[in-house]
Amino acid sequence: MTSTSRSSTPSLQYCSKTVDDVVSELTTDLSKGLTNTADITYRRSIYGINELTHDDDENLVLKFFATFYGDPLILLLVGSAVISFVMGNIDDAISITVAVFIVVTVGFVQEYRSEKSLDALTKLVPAEAHLTRNGLTETVLASMLVPGDLVHFSVGDRVPADVRLVEAVHLAIDESNLTGELNPVHKSVEPLDENKGNSISDRASIAFMGTLVRDGHGTGIVIGTGHNTAFGQVFEMLSDIEKPKTPLQHSMDKLGKDLSLYSFVIIGIICLIGVIQGRSWLDMFQISVSLAVAAIPEGLPIIVTVTLALGVLRMAKKRAIVKRLPSVETLGSVNVICSDKTGTLTQNHMTASKLWTPSMNDNYLILDKNSTHSGELTADIRTVLEVGNICNNARFSTEKDKFVGNPTDIALVEALSQFQLEDIRGTRQRLNELPFSSTRKYMAVTSHQGDISKSEVFAKGAVERILKLSNTFINQNGTTQKLTEENRKFIIEMSNVLALDGLRILAFAKGKGSFEDGVEPSGLSFCGLMGISDPPRPSVSKSIAKLIKGGVHVIMITGDSESTAVNIAKSIGMPINDVSKSVMIGEKLDQMSEEAISEAIQFVSIFARTSPEHKVSIVKALQRRGDIVAMTGDGVNDAPALKLADIGISMGNMGTDVAKEAADMVLTDDDFSTILSAIQEGKGIFYNIQNFLTFQLSTSIAALSLIAISTFLKLPNPLNPMQILWINILMDGPPAQSLGVEPVDEEVMNRPPRSRQDKILTLALLKRCVRSALIIVFGTIFCYVREIKDNVITSRDTTMTFTCFVFFDMFNALTCRNNTKSIFSLGLENSFFNLAVGCSLLAQMAVIYVGFLQRIFQTEALSFHDILFLLCISSSVFWIDEAFKYYKRYNMQFQSSV
């Protein structure tokens, strides 16, 4: 987003103003709050109530029926159902209607659920607030607050509105549901520099509505309510953003239009030929409409839905929960993934990686959590670990059986075990603390072991700040030595060396005595440095390599510095050739138009120093180029980008409810590698859809051609109505559905993502359909003509023709399992297909040999030689298709070798 749009909330305006300026501008009082009742009523009339509401008065029934509009395939099927009913084909009319209603209902329910992200957002607004008005403090409904009100909050409270802080006592607020950052933000009443505050996370003098107080307490003046807050801005964006259609939905739209065109062409041609033959217009119209309806695979929408639903179940087993069915296939079309760094590409577990003390000169100790370093424990190293242990607020949770708290503090405590040291905080008593803040840039505590006169100061934080507090440093044997200017320069040089790998560097110091509240400690002894890292997930490198090979552009989005982001990117195998082109910082994004971003973004692999707000601009820029974008996120501010992206991916562990509701997919393990599995599944589903589409269309074309050719040649109808119905059941039933669950071929990841404009009914697929249909038609007509040599139609003649067509159908389904690989190399992995075809053949045998079914379908028993003859003829579609596949593979190998 641009800086202009971010300034629309008052938080940016007031974060740089002094408390006195805010009091004067909002005409309030620091002790009494607002005092004029009429003024309060007037303000509420101007700013509205302090709630997040959205207008959704549209009738659900009307919304349901509106989903029928604009989908050519659905409209064509509805028209087919009406025509079938009028012409007496009640079975077809009912089956088409049921299929349409199932598909439309599933889509409607999923779209309705996606709007629940707005409701999840409103749950973050607290119901009550501690308010001072007219000098009286009481608990009131938070919805009654207006700008200028004086509110109070402490540990466990949610901030009731956007407020400018006027008092902050050790105040730390968890803003993760807004920014996605895990560490609580330490707040201050001091105004920010006018050139800062562009990012929400920088506004230390502001407390935002819906955020949670983790430590301390505070008081603030309300500056924004309802939709005029940071949360309100996200709410408005969510309301305005319309989820784009998936590539599959675009493809199905095009397929509907194509089938409509083909149907009208068929009607016209058959009518014209029939009239030329001297038949009546009415007779030819009825025949043509019947054939056109028969050509439409009415089971296609429901089979697509079933295939996607089964894909959802398979992906759930791989720790990816998909909420919208079409999103499953969309994953196979994704050509850009924008991923968070923390917790997605990395393990989201800070680890102590390097340790350095002044006595080590230009060397340092590399730490390994799986190894022990007790043999390298010297007095100065022990001191560094001791300071990191005592100046630490992480606590052990017996409920979770692990340390909880600030990730950096947890890393320092966990480092003790590498040196076989214990947590010694239980043996000491803490007197006071200076908490870490963005302005102070260090933390300090005073503690003792029972004798308050022997109190000691322990401090950790930024290297420059700790050096400023120190005048000596600790040697290897534990003695102290004066800290010279040359020593200071060397320490800073070593901190830069340690930071080359993208580590966060902490400095440590200790000293005797104590410090008063509000007074900085001084005269400390510098102890050493430690590098903290969030290591990459072990499987990320392989996943990125496979994605890049498959034509997917991976982009890292992080709030970290440029150097840290580049180091992490290199460690996980992201190609960073030219940093000037591959890396873009948030400030530069603010200065660029969407068109400019779209032009530059093709070279960018890293967006550094960004806020979650920038994600919307990045998604829009990518979609402007025609990219299909997957976006990861976990905070409330990520929700608009998650909803706007073609695939919004939320984190299951760290993600907020709002992010999960706005997303299309939730990763239960927060692992980037899970996205690779999901994309592979999505690609496989698309090709499976094409496979059963090939089967259905080739069967439809064959059935249509068989009836049409018989009509043109003035032959008796080779199939009776019940036999045609049975063929339709096989065409749309288990054999077709089983093609949708064909195991995913790993080779699909080597194929590039398909474009949003690509049709699902490609020219190659259509050629294959026509080829198979011609083989089926000529084979079936050969069988039919062979049986009616005496020009008399008997039950045997129709049974032979009917069974021939069904056997052709089953062999055709076998060939459609894959469009390039031989069935002999695929084997029998698809147990659903084996069961479906086996049951279909048994059912066909029952139709031929069971007495009451013979009467229904007008069939008679066939001899063993008849069945063998039919199998030989019908298998031709299989052998010819295998020959074409072999030629295709041979040609591809020849071209690749050349």
Active site residues: 340
What 3-state DSSP class applies to 583? strand
Tell me, what DSSP letter sits at residue 747?
G
Distance of alpha carbon 367 from the chain centroid:
35
Quickly list DSSP for 382-418: HHHHHHHHHS---EEETTTTEEES-HHHHHHHHGGGG
Q: Tokens 């991916």 sit at which residue?
A: 649
Judge contact between 460 and 425, C-beta under 8 A: no
Tokens of 213: 């107080």
- Our CA angle for 221, 39, 218, nearest 5°, is 15
Judge contact between 588 and 198, C-beta under 8 A: no
Tokens of 624: 């402007």
Which amino acid is located at 443 in the chain?
M
Neighbours of 248 (CB within 10 A): 23
Left (φ > 0), alpha (ψ -120 to 50) or beta: where does 744 sit? beta
Judge contact between 512 and 456, C-beta under 8 A: yes
Tokens of 163: 């407020």
| Angle, helix 795-815 to helix 831-849, in steps of 10 degrees | 180
Which amino acid is located at 233 in the chain?
Q
Neighbours of 542 (CB within 10 A): 13
Which residues, 6 or more positions from 847, have their beta carbon under 8 angstroms from its beta carbon?
Answer: 726, 853, 854, 857, 859
Which amino acid is located at 814 in the chain?
L
Rounded Cα–Cα distance for residues 484 and 475 (Å): 14
In 435-479 the beta strands, taken as DSSP E runs, fall at: 442-448, 456-461, 470-474
Tell me, what DSSP letter sits at residue 859?
-
Judge contact between 396 and 402, C-beta under 8 A: yes
Rounded Cα–Cα distance for residues 304 and 154 (Å): 53
Q: Are strands 470-474 and 524-533 parallel, antiparallel or unpaired?
A: parallel
Q: How far apart are the first and last CA of the chain?
A: 49
Judge contact between 387 and 508, C-beta under 8 A: yes
Tokens of 770: 């026509």
Tokens of 669: 């393990």
Which residues, 6 or more positions from 261, have their beta carbon under 8 angstroms from its beta carbon?
Answer: none
Rounded Cα–Cα distance for residues 853 and 870 (Å): 20
Burial class, 485, CB count within 10 angstroms (exposed 0-12 / middle 13-18 / buried 19+): exposed
Tokens of 417: 């075990």
Rounded Cα–Cα distance for residues 487 and 741 (Å): 67
Tokens of 695: 């089967």
Tokens of 385: 């670990």
Q: Are strands 150-154 and 128-133 parallel, antiparallel or unpaired?
A: antiparallel
CA distances from 78 to 69, 269, 297, 359 (A): 11, 23, 12, 83
Q: In the chain, what is the greatest distance between 2 CA atoms, to the nearest angstrom?
A: 120
Four-point Cα dihedral 694, 807, 815, 823, nearest 10: 160
Which amino acid is located at 222 in the chain?
V
Rounded Cα–Cα distance for residues 73 and 75 (Å): 5
Residue 217 phi, psi dihedral angles, 5° rounding: -150, 165
What 3-state DSSP class applies to 138? strand
